[in-house]
């Protein structure tokens, strides 16, 4: 039978393997992953797992029953597309079809490598190393007020740790949301008893302390670095597989790469969005769940429709449920739906009158309705969209 090999046993790799079986693929499926653990879900790591409310987050999947061969704890070091062969620590592996699903890896803080007490938060091992920090209520300095920084700060405050968040920009989530939308989130930190220091740059990290470039010394039993992630594609160097500006695999609208019989899906790949007219590199869970269906259908030869999702993600921070659907761009019209100083509000973005994106804080119904309206590129009446008492619906 045909041999499909999948590199990376995170959500995208696991879903690709399972989707192949669900869609009736009868050849061999081999899933190779660098981490030694049973494949697991990442979002709980910065939430329940960190707080010790859940032991782990392993997927409830019977790989053996599905005929999926797991090779865990194996690093794939290269691929030779012309030979249809991978190189691994354990020797070469031949494939007929290859799926790249190596995800992303956190960006390290320069100069912090090897300093005791400096942590990243990407893997189960990271979360397990951070658990005692929370359990002991240590002083924590979080570098970066992005999604991971906010979620870690939330868990650390829940555990009673003194928390300082150091952010180089003037606000949280500066790379993701416009200033006026992110500004109200600044108050969330203070409300939770976390100190947010904006315009703050780390000069150096020593065991037990973080020094800012203005001379401030912050005591730090632990430092958690959350300054972003980049596609884990260093191993593809020299393979000839085309990579983009962020070193992500450049996939097409069926998630095929530039090499024959090689697909890429999840955090490691970007794809051209017909909906938004630009290439999207999405580092969120839903994309790692949806993309594999297209990959599996294309491998099987079912001629699936182009992969063109409405991106979606959520974050749980400071007691709030934050959700975002779609993709906004500079120039889209921004409409407030509710008062951002209250616990529940939303923001809509309109492009040419149609809903392009929606951010919902504590308003899951807005999100559910908005997601459908984005999917169908529905025009909205801006005056109605601005009234939080009126359900979101077509103009
Ligand atoms: P990954 O999950 O990164 O899996 C890739 C796997 O490939 C890894 O296990 C890696 O070890 C392995 N690998 C890499 N290189 C190699 C190699 N050369 N050889 C073999 N194996 C390799 N998203 C949301 O939408 N909402 C959330 O609330 C949310 N919370 C999150 C919390 C945390 C702490 C983290 C880290 C992420 C969170 N995300 C969230 C993002 C979401 O988890 C990711 O988008 C998703 O995990 C991407 O899946 P993936 O399979 O593409 O990549």
| pLDDT, average across residues 294-309 | 97
Mean pLDDT (the chain) is 97
CA 387/CA 393 separation, integer angstroms: 11
Q: Is 10 in the pocket of ligand 1 (CB under 6 A)?
A: yes
Q: Which atom of ligand 1 is nearest to the CA of 8?
A: 7
Q: What is the reported pLDDT for 394?
A: 75
CA of 210 from ligand 1 middle (Å) equals 28
Which class for 68: exposed (0-12), middle (13-18), buried (19 or more C-beta within 10 A)? buried
Is ligand 1 within 6 A of the CB of residue 269?
A: no
CA of 40 to the centre of ligand 1 (A): 9
Q: What share of the chain in percent tops pLDDT 70?
A: 100
- What is the average per-residue pLDDT within 195-217? 97
| pLDDT score of 335 more than 70 | yes
Architecture of domain 319-385: 2-Layer Sandwich (3.30)
Helix, strand, or coil (residue 243) = strand
Tokens standing for residue 288: 């790692």
Q: Which residue of 9, 30, 42, 100 sits with most ligand 1 atoms within 8 Å of its CB, as the best mutation to test the pocket?
A: 42
* CA–CA dist 142, 112 (Å, integer): 13
Q: What's the pLDDT tens digit per position in 263-288?
A: 999 999 999 999 999 999 999 999 99
Common-topology check for domains 108-225 and 319-385: no
Domains in the chain: boundaries: 3-105+229-300, 108-225, 319-385
Distance CA 48, CA 252 (A): 36
Q: At what angle do helices 285-300 and 11-22 cross, to 10 degrees?
A: 40
Shortest CA distance to 201 belongs to which of 162, 222, 227? 227
Q: Is the minimum distance from the CB of 284 to ligand 1 under 6 angstroms?
A: yes
**Measured distance CA(232)–CA(267) in Å, rounded:** 8
Question: What is residue 55's predicted lDDT score, i.e. its pLDDT?
Answer: 86
User: What is the CA(123)–ligand 1 centre distance, in A?
Assistant: 8
Q: Is residue 393's pLDDT more than 90?
A: no
pLDDT one-digit tens code per residue, 214-261:
999 999 999 999 999 999 999 999 999 999 999 999 999 999 999 999
Give the CB-side neighbour count of residue 317, counting CA atoms within 13 A: 24
pLDDT for 342-361, tens place per residue?
Answer: 999 999 999 999 999 999 99
Q: Tell which atom from ligand 1 comes closest to the C-alpha of 312.
A: 25
pLDDT category of residue 1 using cuts at 50, 70 and 90: confident
Instruction: Kindly state if the Cβ of 75 falls inside 6 Å of ligand 1.
Output: yes
Instruction: Measure the CA angle with vertex 79, ends 75 and 81; round to 5°.
Output: 155
The rounded distance, in Å, linking the Cα atoms of 7 and 101 is 6
Instruction: For residue 343, give the DSSP letter.
Output: S
Ligand 1 centroid–CA 41 distance in Å is 8
Tell me the whole-structure pTM to 2 decimals. 0.97
**Is 3.50.50.60 the CATH number for 3-105+229-300?**
yes
Which helix (H) or strand (E) segment is 21 a member of? helix 11-22
Q: Is 226 in the pocket of ligand 1 (CB under 6 A)?
A: no
With respect to CATH, is domain 108-225 assigned 3.50.50.60? yes
């Amino acid at each position: 039978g045909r041999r499909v090999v999948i590199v990376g046993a995170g959500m995208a790799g696991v879903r690709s393997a399972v989707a192949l079986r669900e869609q009736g693929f009868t050849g061999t499926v081999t899933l190779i992953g660098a981490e030694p653990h049973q494949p697991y879900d990442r979002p709980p790591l910065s939430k329940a797992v960190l707080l010790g409310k859940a032991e782990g987050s392993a997927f409830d999947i019977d790989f053996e029953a599905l005929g999926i061969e797991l090779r865990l704890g194996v690093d794939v070091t290269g691929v030779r597309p012309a030979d249809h062969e991978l190189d691994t620590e354990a020797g070469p592996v031949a494939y007929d079809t290859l799926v790249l699903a190596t995800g992303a890896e956190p960006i390290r803080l320069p100069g912090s490598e090897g300093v005791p007490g400096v942590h990243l938060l990407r893997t189960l091992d990271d979360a397990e190393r951070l658990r005692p920090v929370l359990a002991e209520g240590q002083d924590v300095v979080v570098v970066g007020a992005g999604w991971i920084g906010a979620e870690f700060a939330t868990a650390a405050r829940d555990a009673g740790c003194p928390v300082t968040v150091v952010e180089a920009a003037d606000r949280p989530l500066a790379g993701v949301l416009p200033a006026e939308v992110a500004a109200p989130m600044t108050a969330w930190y203070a409300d939770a008893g976390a100190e947010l220091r904006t315009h703050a740059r780390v000069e150096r990290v020593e065991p037990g302390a973080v020094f800012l470039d203005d001379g401030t010394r912050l005591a730090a039993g632990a430092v958690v670095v959350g300054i972003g992630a980049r596609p884990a594609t260093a191993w593809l160097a020299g393979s000839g597989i085309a990579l983009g500006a962020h070193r992500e695999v450049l996939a097409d609208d069926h998630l095929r790469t530039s090499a024959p019989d090689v697909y890429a899906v999840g955090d490691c790949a970007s794809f051209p969005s017909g909906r938004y007219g630009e290439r999207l590199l999405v580092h969120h869970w839903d994309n790692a769940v949806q993309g594999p269906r297209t990959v599996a259908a294309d491998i099987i030869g079912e001629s699936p429709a182009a992969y063109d999702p409405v991106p979606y993600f959520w974050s749980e921070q400071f007691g709030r449920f934050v959700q975002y659907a779609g993709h906004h761009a500079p120039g889209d019209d921004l409409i407030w739906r509710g008062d951002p100083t209250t616990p529940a509000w939303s923001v809509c973005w309109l492009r040419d009158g149609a809903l392009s994106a929606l951010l919902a804080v504590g308003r899951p119904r807005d999100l559910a309705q908005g997601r459908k309206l984005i999917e169908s590129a529905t025009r909205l009446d801006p005056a109605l969209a601005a009234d939080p008492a009126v359900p979101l619906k077509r103009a």
